[in-house]
Amino acid sequence: MGLFQKFKDGLFKTHEKLTHEIKRIVTRSPRLTATSIEELEVALIGADLGMAMTSQIITAVKGAYETQGNGGVDILAVAQREVEKALANNKAELRKEPGLTVVSIVGVNGTGKTTTSAKLAHFVKAQGQTSILAACDTFRAAAVEQIKLWGERLNIPVVSGSHGADPAAIAHDAISAAISRKADYVFIDTAGRLHTKTNLMLELQKVHRVIGKKTPGAPHEVLLVLDATTGMNALNQAREFHKAVPLTGLVVTKLDGTSKGGMVVAIQKELGLPIKFIGLGEQADDLQPFDAKQFAEALFSEK
C-alpha cells in the first residue's frame, strides 16, 4: 500500500466529517455569507484544528472569494494548502547518531507507548537498521509480556528485568547490549505516568540521567506519545512533560479512531515541537513518519 493510501485510510474519519460539512456549507450557499463563514469555523474547530489554524484558513477563503468571486472557490483546496503551509517547517526525521541512537518513549497511561516502541523498531528495521527494545515499564504487571510478544512477532531483541525492577537499570543494560551487538537504535518503552505526579516524573528524569552517563548525549530523542482521541488535553500533557524532560518530538497515535485529527495541526502550532510520527492503526506498519503534504491531502482532498 502506498504512503498516501495509508494516510488516507488512517485519517478517514476526520476526512469524512470535514469534507461532508464543508460541502454542505457550500451547497447551501454558493456565496460567502456571515453564516457560512461561521459554519465553516464550526466545522474546522470541530475537527480540532485549533483557533489559529481556523483563522488562517478563514482569512485565505475570504481572500479567494474576493479575487475569484462566488462559485470559483474550492474551499477544500484552500484549506488543504493552508494546512500544508502551516506544517511546512515540521522536521519529522528520526535522529540518527553515528553510533548508537537512544530513543526514549514517554507519555501518560495508555497512549500507545509500547505499541509505538515496537512499531519504531519495525520502522528502522525496514530501513536496514538494527535495534533493541528496552522493557522499562516494570510497573504494570503485563507490560513486559506485551513488549516481549512484539519482539517475538517482529524478531527484535528485548532486554527486560523482573516486575518492580529499577527501570533505569534496565535502560542501562539495554544500552550495554546494544553497544556489544553494534545495534543502531535502542527504543526505551517507559511506564505510563501522569504528568501531574512529581515522583513519577522524577523517576523518568533518573532514567534519562543514567542513560546520559552511559552514552553521552543520550537520550538523543525523547518522544512524547499523545493519544489523538484525547483531543486538546494532549496539549497540557505535552507542556508538563516538556518541563520535566525536554522533548525532541511528538508521536500522535490513534488518529484512525477520531474525527478530530486536526489536533495534530493545533498541537504542532501551539508547542512548536515536531510531530515525528503518527499512528494510523494497530499493526506494525501503521506508524508512519509525519508528512505535512500527505496529511493535508488526506484531510481535505477528494482524490
- Residues at the site binding ligand GTP, with contacts judged by CB under 6 A: 107, 109-115, 137, 140, 143, 192, 253-254, 256-257, 279-282, 286
- Residue 246: CB minimum distance to ligand GTP, A: 20
Output 44 or 121, the one with its CB closest to ligand GTP: 121
Q: How far apart are CA 281 and CA 156, in angstroms?
A: 20
Site stretch for Mg ion (CB under 5 A), options 73-81, 132-140, 175-183, 252-260: 132-140
56 touches Mg ion by CB under 5 A? no
Residue closest to 54 by CA, chosen among 64, 65, 66, 42: 42
Output 54 or 253, the one with its CB closest to ligand GTP: 253
Grid cell in block for residue 135: 522493557
Q: If 0-12 CB within 10 Å is exposed, 13-18 middle and 19+ buried, where does residue 261 land?
A: buried
- Residue 274: CB minimum distance to ligand GTP, A: 18
Grid cell in block for residue 259: 474525527
Output 15 or 113, the one with its CB closest to Mg ion: 113
Q: How far apart are CA 180 and CA 176, in angstroms?
A: 6
- Residue 256: CB minimum distance to ligand GTP, A: 5
Count residues binding Mg ion (CB under 5 A). 3
Q: How far apart are CA 58 and CA 63, in angstroms?
A: 9
Residue closest to 108 by CA, chosen among 134, 137, 132: 137
- Residue 180: CB minimum distance to ligand GTP, A: 27
Strands, sheet with 221-227, edge to edge from the N-terminal-most edge strand: 158-159, 131-136, 185-190, 101-106, 221-227, 249-253, 275-279, 287-289
Tell me how far apart the 2 most distant CA atoms of the chain are, in Å. Answer: 68
- Residue 152: CB minimum distance to Mg ion, A: 16
Output 113 or 220, the one with its CB closest to Mg ion: 113
- Residue 251: CB minimum distance to ligand GTP, A: 9
Output 107 or 274, the one with its CB closest to ligand GTP: 107
- Residue 166: CB minimum distance to ligand GTP, A: 17
Helix (H) or strand (E) holding 160: none
The residue with its CB nearest to Mg ion is 114
117 touches Mg ion by CB under 5 A? no
Asked, as a colleague might, if the bond just before 157 is cis with ω within 30 of 0, I would say no
**Of 101, 114, 259, 268, which lies in the binding site for Mg ion, with binding defined by CB under 5 A?**
114
- Three-class secondary structure of residue 66 per DSSP: helix
Output 47 or 58, the one with its CB closest to ligand GTP: 47
Q: By the criterion CB under 5 A, which residues form the site for Mg ion? A: 113-114, 137
